[in-house]
Structure 1
Amino acid sequence: MEILITSFALLTLAVIAILIGTRGRPMRFFTAFGETFWRMWTNRWPLLLIGVSVFLVLGFLFLFYATPGSRIRPEQPIPFSHQLHAGVKAIDCYYCHSYVGRSINPGLPPVEKCLHCHNYIIANHPQILKEHNYYNTNTPTPWVKVYQLSEHVLFNHQRHIRKEIACESCHGQVQQMDRLQGKRFYMGFCIQCHREKKVNLDCWLSCHS
């Protein structure tokens, strides 16, 4: 019944719009439509060329900006593979991100942590030699930030880890990724999770403290 009423109302509005637009001569609408169609038909090849051009441009923009590959973040200074380390080698996230359970920030692995293994594993690989150079010059590895969070939001890793929130809940299946996919967290994502787990939704106490 509601669909019928809505359809009738839309039809009525369309008839009124046609009457107003044609100044009470509704046949002029169909005449004008026929003339427009005829002009389009006589110019069909230029219009087709324009249509194909627009389609190709939109297709290029989609492939360049919207495909899954475009969400891969910039190349890191050392091509660290999460798939190899967290997946194949099954290294615990906490080993590299050692502050995640006791700090607001998870922490990034220092050069010494990487060399703890790679002093013995593929020690002469060019990328590992690059790590040695960072170590010898007392330079932190310039890792590039992947996950984006607004500056006015405070995300406490320690609090979430203590509530046994899995890393994959926010970061995805990193054990299946070589280079991590980029992601910007928005308020809706956090609110939905808090609602599902029936936890605090107070603005100040939750995120903006």
Structure 2
Amino acid sequence: MQAVQIIRGKSGAGVSSPSPVGGGREESGKNGVSSTGQPGCVGAQRSKMEDFLLDAFTKYCEDNGTEDLLLKYLKPFFKQYLRISDKLIYFLQPHDFILKGTTEVVDFERYLYRGGLFLILNQNLDLIQDNWKLVLNSLGRKPSYKERLTFSDVQKLAASLNQDTPQSTVADMLTLQGDKQYIDFFDFALILGRVGELNMKWD
């Protein structure tokens, strides 16, 4: 049976990646991430977040005397300059950031898009971990970010649905069809974003 595939957003740079904010930046008004609910709030939060990403990139280049960020340094960059948790960096795929026509340079537009994705998930990491633990506990599984859910696991989860597991989350897992044969911690985090469980707050 086919497993769950998370909806993949696309930016102008050709990024193919799931987003907890309902697609690319051109659809910022229709995202699944909660904010204050005031008009323009999400756009303002995005702008602040992109400023943070730009500042981090600029500082890295100044510190290292370079104009480019190479793929082999991407994970250390995310940890040191963006302060992303190791639990999320574990799922980072450097090839998703590659500049077209090169083999080792990070595309800046892809960096802004996917970097923003990781920042939002990082801000909501405690909530994501709590929900992931609830799901794994209900299946009698070890609460670890390295665990994976099969389609069979999701079916069992739906069958034993209780108040601790939001119906909308399970519905997303069951109805999104694709080639992927499992759901991991990162996929689950994106699902929570799609059903509006994550917040985007930037001070």
TM-score, scaled to structure 2: 0.21
Which one has a larger percent strand, Structure 1 or Structure 2?
2
Q: Quick check: which one's helix share is greater?
A: 1
Bigger Rg, structure 1 or 2: 1
Ranked by relative contact order (alpha carbons within 8 Å, sequence separation 6 or more), the top structure is 2
